[in-house]
Amino acid sequence: MTNEKVFKMKFSSIYPHYVNKIERKGRSKHELDTVICWLTGYSETQLASQIEKEVDLTAFFADAPLINPNAPLIKGVICGVRIEEIEDPLMQKLRWMDKLVDELAKGKAMEKILRS
C-alpha cells in the first residue's frame, strides 16, 4: 500500500483496531487515549471529536494541537523499518503512534511509554 493510500485512511477506522489490540492484552481504552493524547496534544474530548468527524490520517495529524516534543525519543522497528530513519514526517508520526500502541499492548509501564 502506498503512503498516499495510508494517509487517506480514516482514523476512525484504525482506532477500533487499536482498542481491540490493547484490550486483548488487558489494557484499557482510557490508557490508549492517554497515549494518543500524549503524542498528539489532543484532549480526550478533541480525540473523540476527531473520531466522530471521521478525519483521515493526514487531517488527524495536521489538526493535532502539538506533537509531543519527546516524540523523537520513540525508537525501534515497525514493519521492518526503523522509526527514526523514516523520512516522511507524516509516516513517522503514524509509526510513532503504532509503536506506542505496541508498547501498551506489550504491557510496558505508562511512565516508559510516555517517555517520562
Place of cell 523514516: 86
Q: pLDDT tens for residues 25-46?
A: 999 999 999 999 999 999 999 9
At 93 the pLDDT is 97
- Considering the domain delimited by 3-113, tell me its CATH architecture: Orthogonal Bundle (1.10)
d(CA 107, CA 47): 23
Report the C-alpha dihedral over residues 48, 65, 13, 70, rounded to 10 degrees. -110
Question: Which sequence spans correspond to the domains of the chain?
Answer: 3-113
C-alpha grid cell for residue 49?
A: 471529536
pLDDT digit string, tens, across residues 35-75: 999 999 999 999 999 999 999 999 999 999 999 999 999 99
pTM higher than 0.85: yes
